Structure 1
Amino acid sequence: MKIALVGIGKIAVDQHIPAINDSPDWELAATVSRHGSVDGVDAFTDLGDMLDARPDIRVVSLCLPPVPRFAYAMQALAAGRHVMLEKPPGATLAECHALTAKAQADGLSLYATWHSRQADMVAAAKEWLTDKRLTRLHVTWKEDVRRWHPGQDWIWEPGGLGVFDPGINALSIVTDILPHPIHVTGATLKVPENRQTPIAVNLEFHHPQGAQVTADFDWRQEGDQIWMIEAETEAGTLTLTDGGATLKINGERSGTAAPLGGEYPRLYAQMAQLIADGGIDMDLRPMTLVADAYTLGRRETVAPFHD
């Protein structure tokens, strides 16, 4: 299938373009961007122009920041195109529900991707936890924003999510591997005095079986980056590290992890399957937890951040 990629920024260059080019399902037929393009691929600066000029392109993949994404997604759906959304799928839950209703009404496929769920050991962790009684789960997600989001001011503006931009990756894994739903009961949002979104967050959750579930996200990490989920059960401890690429059960490594580069190829394979099945996948649980954290969160002002 021919696909158009909208937003040729860092994530598109690092992940989306290689995944599309290596896939047997897809042909990158056009790009839409004011600042980037791909050699040998039809380039546009306006989505409407691309939709008019290329009726042969059935699918649009959106890699834009969250705030402008709704308008682009709705425009593509209105033109009868299937839509794939980089995470998070929108700036608000209401936007995502509106997109789902439009796709359902028009018989189109819509996919809210959560790339961290495709990390190599997430499925194995989910299977192991299926019949275990959880007693404690803690997430530690700490990275250096300067390394991963250099000069990207949109992440500090309303709708940019701040540290929840990576933190929602952890939440996407947690909501997938736990057999019971959780919800936020408390949050502390640490916001730099010169920014609009948090640089660090502490979260507490309700678990229906009484397990203690907490998370710490921080964008001020220097040195080794930490992406870890530790789940204690009555049958032992499961630890996911490296963003879900490595799994240990009771201290013993389980399986051989593939590189994280496998996440996006799996997303594009899933999108191809959704279109073949006429399906929609808009799991909004990770985004709901973030929205609830903003609703319940106590805001603390911390030192200014300068890129």
Structure 2
Amino acid sequence: MTIRLGIVGVGKIARDQHLPAIAANPHFDLVAAASRHASVDGIASFATIEEMLAGVPDLDAVSICTPPGGRSDIVRAAIAAGKHVMIEKPPGATVSEVVALEQLAADAGVTLFATWHSREASGVDAARDWLADKQVTSVAISWREDIRVWHPGQDWILGPGGFGVFDPGINALSIVTKILPTELSVESGALHVPDGRESPIAATVQMRCGNGAPGRVDLDFLQTGPQSWDIVVETTAGTLTLRDGGKTLSIDGKGAAEGGGIDEGEYPRLYARFAELVPSAGRDVDLRPLQLVADAYLVAHRVVADPFEF
């Protein structure tokens, strides 16, 4: 089955990850794009999803790569047109809007795939399998990257609903909610919000595992030099460490493969999963990472940080 695909939102993440992954997957034929300020060479390009759906009515599916704010209306338009939908993370600006979208997709009989690309990093499945029968005693997440490198000039990310440092931090939460044999809950935290901005540029969050083990999340959007995306899970049987955003796995310091940045296979694996879901109109929507971020906003206290400009 060849899936005629349209993409909505042609920004950095679409060009860096989505377009190459689509081109490499024989199940997809990218035939249209919708973006306010960009286009894709060689295919029909439109300013809005409504124009795209009207101009290319025989699309089978839509991949949505816009920022989370305002995305709900885009997804709704695609579902109303009977299109299967894949969504870049985070799946929406609020938990409730994604719950509603999942029901709309079910009622319409179309796929809704809320993606978490970091779950597709090469060390994640092996980490989940090793932890499956282990007693967790603590979890530590350290996610530090440079906002100017990954989101150059993107003021929306520090605005209302932009997620701030939780935009990368939710990647870590997507991994731990997949690999841990216990649920997580948020207990307290501190959100460091630059003066004049609305979303945090750094955060610390204290969490608790279902078995009572403590968890801590440290997020920083001002890391310069080498970037670091690390998860350490202590258990009664040893220490599991995931580095490089889930790419490099070691147990008690042994078995680590060479790291070196984000796993280039993450997005190809997402599109392979989307291609599996479409023929049966299956849905894959896990909201646990988004729920943890929402809980952090509810219970953490706000700290005014220094002003920030790109």
Find the partner of 2:301 among 285, 291, 298: 298
- Contact residue 249 and residue 255 of structure 2 kept, 8 A: yes
Residue range with higher mean Cα deviation, 270-279 or 19-28: 270-279
Q: Distance in 1 between matches of 2:52 and 2:197?
A: 35
Secondary structure of the 1:184 match is: strand
Aligned partner of 2:77 in structure 1 is 75
Query: In the alignment, which residue of structure 2 is the partner of 1:184?
Result: 186
* Counterpart among 239, 260, 268 of residue 237 in structure 1: 239
Give deviations 1:199-223, integer Å, cap 9, x for gaps: 1110111212121111100111121
SS of residue in 2 equivalent to 1:197: coil
With normalisation by structure 2, the TM-score equals 0.97
1:136 is aligned to 2:138:
yes
Equivalent-residue separation in structure 2 for 1:280 and 1:60 (angstroms): 14
Which SS does the other structure have where 1:147 is aligned? helix
Determine if contact 2:188/2:207 at 8 Å carries over to the other structure: yes
Q: Once structures 1 and 2 are overlaid, which stretch shifts more, 275-284 or 226-235? A: 275-284
Q: Return the offset for 1:173.
A: 0.3
3-state SS of 1:191 partner: strand
Aligned to 1:102: 104
Find the aligned partners of 2:257 and 2:129 in 1 and give their Cα distance. 13
Q: Which residue of 2 aligns with 1:173?
A: 175
Q: In the TM superposition, what are the counterparts of 1:209-220 in structure 2 within 5 Å?
A: 209-220=211-222
Say whether 1:284 aligns with 2:287: yes
Aligned partner of 2:288: which letter? R
Distance in structure 2 (CA, Å) of the matches to 1:306 and 1:153: 9
Deviates more, 1:50-59 or 1:172-181: 50-59
In 2, Cα distance between equivalents of 1:289 and 1:20? 30
C-alpha separation in 1, matches of 2:270 and 2:112 = 12
How well do the aligned residues superpose, as a CA RMSD in angstroms?
Answer: 1.2
Find the counterpart in structure 2 of residue 48 from structure 1.
50
Shift of 1:123: 0.4
C-alpha deviation, 1:254, in angstroms: 4.5
Taking structure 1 as the reference length, what is the TM-score of the superposition? Answer: 0.98
Q: Aligned match of 1:84 in 69, 86, 95?
A: 86
| Cα displacement (A) at 1:306 | 1.4
Q: Confirm or deny: 8 A CA contact 1:19 1:268 kept in the other structure.
A: yes
Q: What residue in structure 1 maps to residue 264 of structure 2?
A: 261
Q: What CA deviation, in whole Å up to 9, does each residue of 1:22-68 have, x standing for no partner?
A: 10111111000121111111111121121122122110110001011
Measure the CA separation in 2 of the matches of 1:238 and 1:115: 21
1:261 deviates by 1.3
> In structure 1, what is the equivalent of residue 13 of structure 2?
11
Equivalent residues, number: 307
Shift of 1:260: 1.2
8 Å contact from structure 1 (residues 8, 31) kept in 2? yes
Q: Does 1:270 align with 2:273?
A: yes
**C-alpha distance in 1 between matches for 2:257 and 2:222:** 31
5+ residue gaps, structure 1: none
1:277: Cα distance to partner? 2.9
Equivalent position amino acid for 2:42 in 1: G
- Residue range with higher mean Cα deviation, 132-141 or 50-59: 50-59
* Equivalent of 2:64 in 48, 62, 65: 62
Q: Is the 8 A contact 2:139 2:233 kept in 1?
A: yes
Kept after mapping to 1: 8 A contact 2:174/2:289: yes
Question: Is the 1:120–1:257 Cα contact (8 Å) retained in structure 2?
Answer: no
Q: Residue 203 of structure 1 aligns with which residue? A: 205
Q: How many Å separate the matches in 1 of 2:30 and 2:11? A: 16
Instruction: List per-residue Cα deviations over 1:97-132 (Å, max 9, x = no partner).
Output: 110110011111001000000001100000000001
CA deviation digits over 1:117-161, x for unaligned, max 9? 000110000000000100111000011111111100000111100
Secondary structure of the residue aligned to 2:69 is: helix
Match of 2:30 in 1: 28
Deviations 1:167-210 (A, max 9, x none): 00000001000011111011110111121100111011121212
